[in-house]
């Protein structure tokens, strides 16, 4: 007896497949991470991230304009800080004339409608490469939260649309939200890196910013005391729920492809948009495999982005943003 339901009827050709497709993908789903460095007319290659560069501010503006023309509506900013500006407290992080603050102002001047979400963490500013202040070989939570709050206020004053704390300190979302409200920045949002795992996928990113933890007997060699254990699922949901209670407007899961179960769990648990960061290691693996002819670059790129969106992402922070947008626009 032939089945009454033949699911293949809805897969017969591309027209019907596109008509019933459950998930859509467009450049408006993407946020472009960008690395900014001091100087002028600089485009410095990052060997472990083919096609990604550290740009000086003038070239950063060109990149932002190109991204906007492709339909990308948000950028996530990271800065490479000179070694002479680094210390244990990250004081350069809230310098009103610092590279990050200059970058925020310049982007908002050049492309006012572009959503600017600067990174809030101390690791680019730290002599130890950690996301917070180190005392007696330990990262101190509450003193770090105070520093992150000052950093967030400086970003808001420079014109950021959202601040994006990526540090995983306890209580930092509430402290930042209170400070923003008390200083009149009611419309500045918070995109919290809520479920950020202690992952080996971050290696190329740390190459880009020269921000890997210092190898020292007195300093933690990794970030496992504050970033999440990748064996845990329920903890990620709890972190996201707490951040929403503290005032986060958007919660993020990081990394992406290997953590899509967490994305779906968080999406089911919260009633705010969920962002996903397809991180540097995930990007680098696709590039390396494609260079060797083991994978079709464009096909695997689009497939992964669709899978992240299907899992529940409202926003995908990805180094593929420009390449994928060019393909999708065609």
**Catalytic residue list:** 196, 254
**Torsion angle, CA of 100/106/112/116, rounded to 10 degrees?**
-10
CB–CB of 298/272 below 8 Å? no
User: Which residue reads 């300190």 in tokens?
Assistant: 169
User: Which residue reads 């996903």 in tokens?
Assistant: 276
CB–CB of 125/81 below 8 Å? yes
Helix (H) or strand (E) holding 63: helix 57-70
CA–CA distance from 133 to each of 168, 201, 206, 209, 235 (Å)?
A: 13, 24, 18, 18, 24
CB–CB of 67/322 below 8 Å? yes
Q: Running DSSP on this structure, what letter comes out for residue 126?
A: B
Token couple for 268: 């089911």
**24 Rama class: left (phi>0) / alpha (psi -120 to 50) / beta:** beta
Token couple for 70: 């492709």
Nearest alpha carbon to residue 235 among 198, 208, 202, 281: 198
User: Which residue reads 């007195």 in tokens?
Assistant: 218
């Amino acid at each position: 007896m032939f089945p009454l339901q033949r699911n293949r009827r809805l897969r017969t050709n591309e027209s019907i497949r596109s008509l019933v497709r459950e998930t859509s993908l467009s450049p408006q789903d993407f946020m472009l991470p960008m690395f900014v460095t001091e100087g002028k007319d600089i485009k410095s290659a990052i060997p472990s991230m083919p096609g990604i560069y550290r740009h000086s501010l003038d070239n950063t503006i060109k990149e932002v304009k190109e991204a906007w023309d492709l339909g990308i509506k948000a950028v996530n900013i990271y800065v490479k800080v000179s070694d002479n500006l680094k210390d244990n407290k990250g004081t350069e992080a809230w310098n009103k004339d610092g590279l990050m603050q200059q970058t925020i102002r310049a982007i908002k001047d050049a492309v006012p409608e572009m959503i600017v979400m600067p990174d809030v963490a101390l690791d680019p500013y730290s002599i130890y490469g950690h996301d917070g202040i180190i005392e007696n070989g330990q990262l101190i939570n509450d003193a770090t939260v105070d520093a992150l709050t000052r950093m967030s206020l400086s970003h808001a004053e420079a014109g950021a649309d959202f601040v994006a704390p990526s540090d995983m300190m306890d209580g930092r979302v509430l402290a930042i939200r209170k400070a923003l409200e008390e200083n009149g920045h009611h419309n500045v949002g918070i995109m919290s890196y809520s479920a950020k795992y202690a992952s080996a996928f971050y290696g190329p990113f740390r190459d880009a910013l020269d921000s890997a933890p210092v190898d020292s007997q007195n300093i933690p060699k990794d970030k496992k005391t504050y970033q999440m254990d990748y064996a845990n699922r329920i903890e990620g949901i709890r972190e996201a729920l707490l951040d929403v209670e503290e005032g986060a407007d958007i919660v993020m899961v990081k990394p992406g492809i290997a953590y899509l179960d967490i994305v779906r769990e968080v999406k089911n648990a919260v009633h705010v948009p969920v962002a996903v960061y397809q991180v540097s290691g995930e990007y680098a693996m696709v590039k390396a495999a494609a260079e060797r002819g083991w994978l079709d670059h464009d096909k695997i790129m689009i497939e992964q982005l669709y899978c992240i969106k299907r899992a529940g992402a409202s926003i995908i922070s990805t180094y593929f943003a420009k390449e994928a947008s060019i393909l999708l626009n065609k």
